[in-house]
Structure 1
Amino acid sequence: MVKLSKTGWNNVIIFSVMGFILLINATNKKIFSPDEGALNEQEIALVGTQNVILTLDIHNVVAIERIGRTWRATPTHISGQALAQMMMSWQQSSGEAMVQVPEIDRQFSLDVTLDIAGQTQPLQLNFYATEQQLLIFNQLSQQWLVMPIAMYGQLFPQEIFAN
């Protein structure tokens, strides 16, 4: 066995742990980095789980704002657990990027404006519901996304538009 002082052994342990961390980090980047072929069909988050939604305005009909860890809708057609579930859907939803621009009538869009913490410009999204899918146009990135039509009910519950 090698004879080292206490500080010598501490240095050996420190450098071996650092080397192990670098090894894990390097293999993690190789395993989980997207390749060039998967770039065309990648999932893009509407908002992203790391972003914090401050307000959500749906077509100047309903305004939802964050109050601490809870949400408040104005007018109060939806509240409590249903509102929290809706906002969780917004936070976690993602769609596939569309390569080709769809042909739709843009006057039938549902306009949504989101204020995200730390961003100077609000995120503006236009939603178009077809029979089979939900099309989303992100005005900031000028990108089209597609989602299953079932997501429409999660992002826009019926209670929101109740009179």
Structure 2
Amino acid sequence: MIRLGRTGWNNVIIFAMLIMIFLFNGLHHKIMSSSEEAVQSLLPANSTVLTYQYSDFKIERIGTSWRTNKQLNLDIELLDLNWRQATGEVIPVVDEKSLVLASVELNIAGYDRSLVFDVFTTPDGCFVDDNQARRLKLDKQTCNQLFPTTEF
């Protein structure tokens, strides 16, 4: 048994408490960050999309309204809302050649480069690759909302 005086035992207790605080604080941040990193938004936070360029049509923001280059049978305001709220589960990018079903290019206010999203499907679900080296897994409903002219 270790023979310590009163101040010695006080120091042991203080250091033990500090170690516990650092341990619990580190676990808390690790648990919270891992759950946040698993699901990410497709678009940057608080971004305003100026143009949606699909393969067969284009939608442009003109002030507070929208203009298209062809007659569309969809709610453009809802499409914009779906893009701003869309999230997906981040999965590792594997160097595999996938058949791209659809592609869309988004011009965002304040960004020099446009964001390009390629969507493809596998038996497991719908995946979106962007030009930021991310692959996000989306559910079928979200894919149908973001790419309205493509069947999944």
TM-score relative to the length of structure 2: 0.69
Confirm or deny: 8 A CA contact 1:101 1:144 kept in the other structure.
no
Structure (1 or 2) with the larger CA radius of gyration: 2
In 1, the alpha carbon distance for the partners of 2:29 and 2:38 equals 9
Match of 2:47 in 1: 51
User: Which of 87, 91, 97 is the equivalent residue of 1:94?
Assistant: 87
**AA aligned opposite 1:118:** G
Q: Report the Cα distance in structure 2 between the residues aligned to 1:135 and 1:51, rounded to whole angstroms.
A: 22
After superposition, the C-alpha distances for 1:97-116 in whole angstroms (9 at most, x for unaligned) are 1025274524x331111001
Contact 1:40-1:97 at 8 Å conserved across structures:
no
Deviation track 1:55-95 (CA, whole Å, cap 9, x = no partner) reads 01012x1101112222222212135xx11111110111011
Q: Which runs of 5+ in 2 are unaligned?
A: 1-24
Give me the identity figure in percent: 23
Q: Please give the residue correspondences for 1:1-163 in structure 2 after superposition, counting only pairs within 5 Å.
A: 35=30, 38=34, 41-59=37-55, 61-78=56-73, 82-101=75-94, 103-106=96-99, 108-139=100-131, 141-158=132-149
- Number of aligned residues: 124
SS at match of 2:88: strand
Whether contact under 8 Å (1:109, 1:128) holds in the other structure is yes
TM-score, structure 1 as length reference: 0.65
Distance 1:112 1:123, change over 3 A: same
Whether the aligned pair in 1 keeps the contact of 2:93 and 2:133 (CA below 8 Å) is no
Deviations 1:96-137 (A, max 9, x none): 11025274524x331111001000010111111234421011
Q: Distance in 2 between matches of 1:127 and 1:34?
A: 33
Counterparts of 1:56 and 1:100, CA distance in 2: 25
TM-superposed deviation, 1:39:
5.9
Inter-partner Cα distance in structure 1 for 2:83 and 2:49: 9
